[in-house]
């Protein structure tokens, strides 16, 4: 169902895509950003060079025009959310579902909501709330992508937002006792586990969800499952264990990963991943700005207490 052959004569407007940063094992560590990147990789695969879409990898939400990831800017308009970005990409001729029937498109729409309802919240809990995973894996993702004061700010913001989403989406109480967030997490994880089993049942023995050809359904599922398969979490790894037991789904993930990201290593990461190769710490100008500000403050403090004067004497 892939429609790779986008005519060169077709005029496509200049687009900019803002996605959450990745590392050497994943193009992005945010499932929705990964879905859009994979969609682009699979639709643009046969084109020689794509100059119409500029992709900006960042973890600083203030660099995205809408403050959320992923965001697509096309013709001066902003598109957020996977469904609306894919809709816009289809308008621009990047259609992976060209051969899908209306019934299949309706099903894709339903599964998109299903994945976002069941797996997105569970991954938010596993990556941003579960204490051990958050400390040992998630913090490592950001430490390489940005510098010290921003790291703390972004981490705490994401942690707070994830907690808020989890607490409000839970079916039960929203009282602020300490055990509630764990209870919500357990509930979300069991729902996610059930969702993975249902997806395995839907995939059956097929290569992709609609037989042998790729569709946006495969991309949506891949975005979540690849992040579960790639990282062996040191804390709660309930979903990883469940996914491993489903061979057909694991093969499905490996197959799409090889197709979309042949250059990315496929391996499990059990501890903090190293910094993103695309954003080395020392090359970031903001790092040197902070070093300069810290130096000036140090000298100013020295002058205030008279240390510098004494040294000069």
Partner 1 sequence: MASSAKPSSVANSGASVGGKSIAANLLDVAIGRFQWPQGALLYFLPPERELLPDRAIRLSFQAYLKFSGLAYEDVCALNADYMSPSGQSPFLVLQFGTRPIIFSNFFQLVSFIEAQKLGLGQDLDKKEKSEHEAYISLIKMSLLSAMEYDAWISKASRQETLSSYSHGLPWPLKHLVPYSQYYKYRWNHWGLYKRDEASVLSEFNDACNALSVHLGGSRSFYQSGPTALDALMCGCVEAILNSSSQKLKSILSSYDNLVDFCHSSVLSQRKGLQFISSPSTANLSSNQ
Chosen residue from 102, 282, 285, 304 binding partner 1 by CB under 8 A: 102
Overall residue count recorded for the chain in this entry: 313
Q: Is 231 helix (H, G, I), strand (E, B) or coil?
A: strand
We find the least distance from the C-beta atom of residue 235 to partner 1, in angstroms, to be 21
Chosen residue from 42, 124, 199, 229 binding partner 1 by CB under 8 A: 199
Residue 215 contacts by C-beta under 8 Å, 6 or more apart in sequence? 1, 2, 96, 97, 100, 104, 108, 208, 209
DSSP string, 130-156: SHHHIIIIIHHHHHTTS-HHHHHHHHH
Pick between residue 49 and residue 103 the one whose CB is nearest to partner 1: 103
Q: Applying CB under 8 A, does 4 fall inside the site for partner 1?
A: no
Q: Applying CB under 8 A, does 168 fall inside the site for partner 1?
A: yes
Q: Applying CB under 8 A, does 232 fall inside the site for partner 1?
A: no
Count of residues engaged in binding partner 1, rule: CB under 8 A: 34
We find the least distance from the C-beta atom of residue 81 to partner 1, in angstroms, to be 8
Q: Applying CB under 8 A, does 176 fall inside the site for partner 1?
A: no
Stretch that binds partner 1, among 34-42, 108-116, 239-247, 252-260 (CB under 8 A): 108-116
Residue 3 contacts by C-beta under 8 Å, 6 or more apart in sequence? 43, 95, 96, 98, 99
Pick between residue 75 and residue 103 the one whose CB is nearest to partner 1: 103
Chosen residue from 45, 174, 254, 270 binding partner 1 by CB under 8 A: 174
Residue 62 contacts by C-beta under 8 Å, 6 or more apart in sequence? none
CB 126 within 8 A of CB 233: yes
Chosen residue from 118, 121, 127, 257 binding partner 1 by CB under 8 A: 118
Pairwise CA distance, residues 74 & 69, whole Å:
15
We find the least distance from the C-beta atom of residue 189 to partner 1, in angstroms, to be 13
Pick between residue 37 and residue 195 the one whose CB is nearest to partner 1: 195
Chosen residue from 10, 62, 175, 176 binding partner 1 by CB under 8 A: 175
Pick between residue 45 and residue 109 the one whose CB is nearest to partner 1: 109
Pairwise CA distance, residues 145 & 21, whole Å:
7
CB 227 within 8 A of CB 274: no
Q: Applying CB under 8 A, does 172 fall inside the site for partner 1?
A: yes
For residue 177, the 8-state DSSP code is -
Q: Is 54 helix (H, G, I), strand (E, B) or coil?
A: strand
Q: Applying CB under 8 A, does 116 fall inside the site for partner 1?
A: yes
Binding mask 148-167 for partner 1 (x = CB under 8 A): ----------------xx-x
Q: How many CA atoms lie within 13 A of 46 on its CB side?
A: 10
Stretch that binds partner 1, among 8-16, 113-121, 148-156, 227-235 (CB under 8 A): 113-121
Q: Is the dihedral of CA 191, 193, 197, 202 positive or negative?
A: positive
We find the least distance from the C-beta atom of residue 88 to partner 1, in angstroms, to be 12
Gyration radius (Cα) of the chain, Å: 22
Q: Applying CB under 8 A, does 61 fall inside the site for partner 1?
A: no
Residues making contact with partner 1 (CB under 8 A): 81, 83-84, 102-103, 105-107, 109-111, 113-114, 116-118, 164-165, 167-168, 170-175, 180, 183, 195, 198-199, 201-202, 204
């Amino acid at each position: 169902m892939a429609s790779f052959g986008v005519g060169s004569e077709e005029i496509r407007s200049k687009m900019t895509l803002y996605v959450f940063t990745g590392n050497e094992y994943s193009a992005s560590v945010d499932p929705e950003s990964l879905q859009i990147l994979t969609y682009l990789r699979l639709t643009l695969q046969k084109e020689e060079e794509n100059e119409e879409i500029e992709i900006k990898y960042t973890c600083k939400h203030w660099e995205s025009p809408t403050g959320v990831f992923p965001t697509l800017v096309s013709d001066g308009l902003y598109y957020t959310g996977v469904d609306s970005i894919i809709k816009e990409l289809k308008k621009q001729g990047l259609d992976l579902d060209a051969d899908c029937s209306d019934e299949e498109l309706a099903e894709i729409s339903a599964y998109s909501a299903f994945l976002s309802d069941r797996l997105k919240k569970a991954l938010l809990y596993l990556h941003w709330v579960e204490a051990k995973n958050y400390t040992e894996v998630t913090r490592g993702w950001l430490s390489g992508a940005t510098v010290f004061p921003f790291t703390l700010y972004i981490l705490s913001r994401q942690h707070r937002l994830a907690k808020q989403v989890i607490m409000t989406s839970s079916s039960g109480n929203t009282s602020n006792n300490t055990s509630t967030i764990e209870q919500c997490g357990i509930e979300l994880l069991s729902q996610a586990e059930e969702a993975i089993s249902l997806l395995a049942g839907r995939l059956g023995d097929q290569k992709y969800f609609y037989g042998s050809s790729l569709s946006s359904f495969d991309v949506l599922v891949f975005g979540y499952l690849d992040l579960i398969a790639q990282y062996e979490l040191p804390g709660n790894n309930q979903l990883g264990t469940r996914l491993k037991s489903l061979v057909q789904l694991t093969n499905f993930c490996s197959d799409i990963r090889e197709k979309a990201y042949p250059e990315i290593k496929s391996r499990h990461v059990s501890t903090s991943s190293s910094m993103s190769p695309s954003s080395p710490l020392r090359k970031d100008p903001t790092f040197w700005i902070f070093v300069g500000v810290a130096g000036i403050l140090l000298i100013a403090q020295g002058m205030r207490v008279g240390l510098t004067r004494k040294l000069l004497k």
